[in-house]
Amino acid sequence: MFARIGRDGKFGYSQQMSDPALLGAMQRFYDAVARRSPGQSFLNYGFDDLDGPGRQATEGDLMSTCRRLYEAVLLPFPVDTGRIVEVGCGRGGGAHFLLGPRPGLRYLGLDLSAEHVTMSRDRFAARAGTHFAQADASFLPALEGRFDAAYSIEAAQHFQDADRFYREVGRLLRPGGSFLLASLWQPALEPLEGFRSAGLRIVERRDITANVVGSLGRTSGLREELVDSLNLPERFRPLLLSWAGVRGTASYDCLANGSLVYLTYRLVRD
């Protein structure tokens, strides 16, 4: 069941989903990772400043590069924002980053993983105006025009129907509302038509591939250690290493050789 927020702010429920077999496999994967690494609040490829010192990464650098990605995508955050929705909220790391200095924001975090939702609810149980719900990105559980801003960081590449996701975001935003997006695309397959169909206009586009590759290269050893600490069956290790962006895997190589680009967008709902 998937929570649906009405105009009165109360929760109802929806059972809409995409392909149940694919979604079920994704849910099991992320739930397993969450159970085995509950202290890992961020799960992204990170961002390194190209003019940084280039030193060998320490354990704390893995989290700091992941946090830097949120800074690169979300700041400066749109003004005149009261209600926000995050799609692919994970364990609540992005919510913590954004909400900490902004106590007045009302926030809805959505994620496919039930474990992620449970962790995030526990983490923010004492914060008023903060809600988390399990949801498929193709059927976002809120009514149209309810939000001033939306964001999604490093999640859209996993969505089965990305164009439908963009339409759903456009539906949830009020006219003039902002959408901040970061993800990976093949260079010839940027979602420009998907944005237009959703009523989303590009205000800014940034290619941060080099920053992401720098982060992955510097923290690859730490990412590999994290994968090994999950103690999942050995047959999953190649997939997990690529999921983590470890140097030498397909995900790292595609970014490094330009087969994939890592882009951020600032969009406005017309």
DSSP 172-240: HEEEEEEEEEEEEE-GGG--HHHHHHTTEEEEEEEE-HHHHHHHHHHHHHHHHHHHHHT---GGGHHHH
Task: Determine the pLDDT at residue 15.
Answer: 32
Percent of the chain with pLDDT over 70: 81
Residue 9: inside a domain = no
Residue 185: inside a domain = yes
Regions of the chain short of the pLDDT cut 50: 1-18, 22-23, 25-26
- The SS3 call for residue 253 is helix
Task: Determine the pLDDT at residue 140.
Answer: 95
Task: Determine the pLDDT at residue 61.
Answer: 82
| HSE-up of residue 15 (Cα within 13 Å, Cβ side) | 0
Q: How many domains does the chain have?
A: 1
Residue 240: inside a domain = yes
Alpha helix stretches (DSSP H) within 51-113: 59-74, 93-99
Residue 48: inside a domain = yes
Residue 5: inside a domain = no
Q: What share of the chain is helix, strand, coil (3-state, %, to 5)?
A: 40, 25, 35
Query: What is the phi/psi pair of residue 47, to 5°?
Result: -145, 125
Task: Determine the pLDDT at residue 38.
Answer: 55
Q: Which domain holds residue 32?
A: 15-36+43-269
Residue 148: inside a domain = yes
Task: Determine the pLDDT at residue 229.
Answer: 82
Task: Determine the pLDDT at residue 201.
Answer: 98
Task: Determine the pLDDT at residue 177.
Answer: 97
Residue 227: inside a domain = yes
Task: Determine the pLDDT at residue 32.
Answer: 61
Residue 102's identity, in one-letter code, is: R
Cβ-contact 247, 253 below 8 angstroms: no
Cβ-contact 136, 23 below 8 angstroms: yes
Task: Determine the pLDDT at residue 2.
Answer: 32
Task: Determine the pLDDT at residue 16.
Answer: 38
List Cα–Cα distances, 174 to 177, 179, 185, 251, 267, in angstroms. 5, 11, 27, 35, 13
Task: Determine the pLDDT at residue 12.
Answer: 30
Each residue of 22-50: pLDDT tens digit? 445 445 556 666 565 555 555 799 999 98
Residue 2: inside a domain = no
Distance of CA 87 to the CA centre of its chain: 6
CATH code assigned at 91: 3.40.50.150
